[in-house]
């Protein structure tokens, strides 16, 4: 028995002791630890994972997409997606997050019927493997719940295994559940007829998404087996969907509980021993401080979604005032080596508002909501204390969200949109770009009407020949945005100072100029990132940003050279500069 294996046993045993310390029915922790290790096929492990190792660099950029965001008649969507990746992303984006590609019943994939199969309408496992051979593959582990039409839930209703004890039952449906944090307005409990009579099962998100009971270790074993299966199929990055709600304990908020955090640590241990360069990203759409807790002590999630960035950045660009974005950035701790922020500003869901709580004032959130609604956006709600509903997220395509300011639409839409991405691409962390941002897709009102779901507004399905035509014509918004984003990503990918863990400091340039300084880990390169977030010209002296006078400085984006730090710099509305002393190119 190797030393690495003994250490693995000790770690897994400790995790399980913490997770199940208050579950009386779980008494054989050693046996359970051995089972999990065997499921992950780690009995012959010889090496320990290297701690605090960064499995990413400035060259990493993740495209976020559904398996059928691009479609072509007569072809499986996963084939079409690979064609799109090779034609428009090769050499530009090296990683792809394919949103749930499993058989499902609702929520565009997040009500999973079978975690181990590929949705036949999309393709098959060989298609997933083909993509994983050419791009680093990120997959959802929809760990909190499954479809009400899954085999597990059908078995639950029939009293059969596996499934009969996989779900959270409430013996007293009238119990006080007011402390439970909810992301939706639907009733928490679902009445369900079973062979043992009427039961009430827990449904955090919808009655088609039934929460799994991780107090039953068999559920944990099932998901460890699913993880092993995904690794075998080429998945390298695991997005733990809605993981904050994993553990339920009456009398608590049932969010961010100790057992939930320890379960993430357990999964990280097992995944790291199985594949040392694999990465866990936690998807926790919650207030900023709670979100940060999923880093643990560099022993939990490798990466966390930077959920506060989208609402703060959109607020900045529609108001022309970066004070709240700046305050938040100064409060953010640098990620330790072995961890990183996952930055994004658009997603398949929407602009989350819970991550803005405590960062934006209520009246500012109201202005943000009203402005987005005037640009065609929708609002989704959640249940809050006292039986009231609160805005949960804004559903809108980012291209339309940035078409104007609080004063209304204007002529700066594309520049404002590019500015948002230039800021995101420069920040500490790994950037994720939603496919509909890369190609400047607008609000899809027909899809909202067809599905009756607000989120569908930003889940357009492109006919691939039509998308290709739009991207080949120089005058379209799609081509203009694609070309400019492509150039920014290419520049970013080779600059050492844009490493996800490179040093970052906030610059103080007033409220219309948002700026920060990045310095490479080896200290050879500095980049000063400055964006005009207003619709008016802004002027600055280079000496105001502490450039070293003996160095030669150049803006990577415009290729402008600055001969002296005494020069003045005029930034046009929504212009960004990346000023460096050591430009790096291919």
- 348 annotated as belonging to a binding site for a ligand: yes
User: Residue 586's pLDDT is what?
Assistant: 63
d(CA 80, CA 83): 5
The secondary structure of 271-308, three-state, reads: HHHHCCCCEEEEECCCCHHHHHHHHCCCCCCCEEECCC
For residue 96, the surrounding DSSP H or E stretch is strand 95-98
Determine whether 476 is exposed, middle or buried from the number of CB atoms within 10 Å of its CB (0-12, 13-18, 19+). Answer: middle
Residue 140 phi/psi, 5-degree rounding, is -80, 135
CATH among 3.20.20.80, 3.40.50.2300, 3.30.2350.10, 1.10.10.200 for 62-147+212-498: 3.20.20.80
- 455 annotated as belonging to a binding site for a ligand: yes
Domain boundaries, the chain: 62-147+212-498, 503-580
| CATH 2.60.40.1180 correct for 503-580 | yes
Q: Which of 68, 241, 400, 535 is catalytic?
A: 241
Beta bridge mates, 161: none
- 107 annotated as belonging to a binding site for a ligand: yes
Question: Is 130 labeled as catalytic in the residue annotation?
Answer: no
Beta strands across the sheet bearing 389-395: 351-352, 389-395, 378-383
Determine whether 333 is exposed, middle or buried from the number of CB atoms within 10 Å of its CB (0-12, 13-18, 19+). Answer: exposed
Q: Are 51 and 300 in contact (CB under 8 A)?
A: no
d(CA 350, CA 369): 12
User: Residue 133's pLDDT is what?
Assistant: 97
User: Residue 583's pLDDT is what?
Assistant: 82
- 508 annotated as belonging to a binding site for a ligand: no
Determine whether 290 is exposed, middle or buried from the number of CB atoms within 10 Å of its CB (0-12, 13-18, 19+). Answer: middle
- 250 annotated as belonging to a binding site for a ligand: no
Q: Please measure the distance between the N-terminal and C-terminal CA atoms of the chain and give it in whole angstroms.
A: 47
Helices (H), 443-564: 445-451, 464-472, 477-492
CA 283 distance to own-chain centroid:
6
User: Residue 149's pLDDT is what?
Assistant: 98
Q: Are 332 and 417 in contact (CB under 8 A)?
A: no
Q: Are 260 and 217 in contact (CB under 8 A)?
A: no
Residue 483 phi/psi, 5-degree rounding, is -60, -45
Q: Are 300 and 265 in contact (CB under 8 A)?
A: yes
d(CA 146, CA 166): 10
Pairing mode of beta strands 340-343, 430-434: parallel
CA within 13 Å, CB half, 440: 24
User: Residue 582's pLDDT is what?
Assistant: 84
- Rounded alpha-carbon distances, angstroms, from residue 95 to 132, 233, 410, 468: 9, 15, 34, 21
- 239 annotated as belonging to a binding site for a ligand: yes
- Render each residue's pLDDT in the chain as its tens digit; 586 residues: 799 999 999 999 999 999 999 999 999 999 999 999 999 999 999 999 999 999 999 999 999 999 999 999 999 999 999 999 999 999 899 999 999 999 999 999 999 999 999 999 999 999 999 999 999 999 999 999 999 999 999 999 999 999 999 999 999 999 999 999 999 999 999 999 999 999 999 999 999 999 999 999 999 999 999 999 999 999 999 999 999 999 999 999 999 999 999 999 999 999 999 999 999 999 999 999 999 999 999 999 999 999 999 999 999 999 999 999 999 999 999 999 999 999 999 999 999 999 999 999 999 999 999 999 999 999 999 988 777 889 999 999 999 999 999 999 999 999 999 999 999 999 999 999 999 999 999 999 999 999 999 999 999 999 999 999 999 999 999 999 999 999 999 999 999 999 999 999 999 999 999 999 999 999 999 999 999 999 999 999 888 887 877 788 999 999 999 988 888 899 999 999 999 998 887 6
Pick from 167, 279, 222, 300: nearest CA to 32: 222
- Rounded alpha-carbon distances, angstroms, from residue 287 to 191, 301, 498: 31, 17, 26
């Amino acid at each position: 028995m190797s030393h690495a294996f003994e250490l693995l046993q000790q770690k897994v045993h400790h995790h399980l002791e913490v997770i199940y310390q208050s579950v009386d029915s779980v008494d054989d922790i050693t046996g359970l630890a051995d089972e999990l290790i065997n499921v992950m096929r780690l009995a012959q492990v010889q090496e320990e994972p290297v701690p605090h190792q960064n499995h990413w660099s400035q060259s990493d950029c993740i495209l976020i997409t559904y398996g059928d965001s691009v479609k072509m008649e007569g072809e499986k969507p996963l084939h079409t997606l690979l064609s799109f990746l090779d034609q428009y992303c090769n050499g530009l984006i090296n990683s792809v997050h394919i949103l749930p590609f499993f058989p499902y019943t609702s929520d565009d994939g997040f009500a999973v019927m079978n975690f181990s199969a590929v949705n036949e309408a999309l393709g098959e496992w060989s298609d997933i493997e083909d993509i994983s051979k050419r791009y680093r593959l990120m997959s959802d582990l929809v760990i909190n719940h499954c479809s009400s039409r899954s085999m597990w839930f059908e078995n639950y209703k029939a009293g059969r295994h596996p499934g009969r004890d996989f779900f959270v039952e409430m013996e007293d449906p009238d119990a006080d559940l007011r402390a439970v944090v909810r992301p939706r307005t639907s009733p928490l409990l679902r009445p369900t007829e079973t062979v043992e009579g009427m039961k009430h099962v827990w449904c955090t998100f919808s009655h088609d998404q039934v929460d799994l009971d991780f107090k039953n270790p068999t559920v944990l074993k099932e998901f460890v087996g699913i993880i092993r299966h995904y690794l075998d199929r080429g998945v390298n990055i695991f997005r733990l969907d809605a993981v904050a709600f994993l553990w339920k304990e009456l009398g608590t908020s049932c969010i961010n509980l100790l057992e939930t955090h320890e379960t993430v640590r357990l999964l990280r241990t097992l995944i790291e021993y199985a594949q040392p360069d694999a990465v866990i990203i936690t998807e926790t759409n919650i207030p900023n401080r709670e979100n940060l807790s999923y880093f643990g002590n560099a022993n939990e999630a490798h990466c966390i979604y930077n959920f506060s960035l989208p609402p703060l950045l959109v607020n900045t660009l529609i108001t022309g005032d970066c004070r709240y974005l700046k305050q938040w950035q100064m409060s953010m701790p640098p990620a330790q080596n072995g961890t990183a922020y996952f930055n994004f500003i658009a997603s398949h869901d929407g602009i989350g508002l819970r991550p803005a709580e405590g960062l934006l004032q209520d009246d500012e959130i109201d202005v943000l909501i009203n402005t987005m609604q005037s640009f065609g956006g929708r609002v989704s709600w959640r249940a809050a204390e006292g039986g009231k509903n609160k805005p949960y997220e804004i559903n809108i395509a980012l291209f339309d969200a940035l078409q104007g300011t609080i004063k209304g639409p204007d002529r700066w839409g594309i520049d404002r949109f590019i500015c948002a991405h230039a800021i995101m691409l420069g920040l500490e962390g790994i950037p994720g770009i939603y496919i509909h941002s890369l190609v400047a897709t607008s609000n899809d009102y027909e899809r909202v009407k067809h599905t009756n779901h607000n989120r569908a507004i930003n889940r357009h399905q492109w006919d691939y020949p039509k998308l290709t035509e739009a991207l080949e014509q120089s005058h379209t918004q799609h081509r203009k945005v694609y070309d400019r984003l492509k150039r920014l990503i290419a520049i970013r990918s080779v600059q050492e100072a844009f490493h996800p863990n490179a040093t970052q400091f906030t610059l103080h340039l007033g409220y219309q100029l948002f700026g920060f300084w990045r310095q490479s880990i080896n200290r050879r390169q500095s980049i000063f990132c400055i964006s005009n977030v207003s619709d008016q010209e802004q002027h600055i002296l280079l000496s105001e940003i502490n450039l070293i006078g003996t160095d030669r400085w150049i803006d990577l984006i415009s290729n402008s050279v600055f001969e002296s730090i005494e020069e003045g710099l005029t930034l046009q509305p929504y212009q960004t500069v990346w000023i460096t002393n050591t430009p790096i190119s291919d």
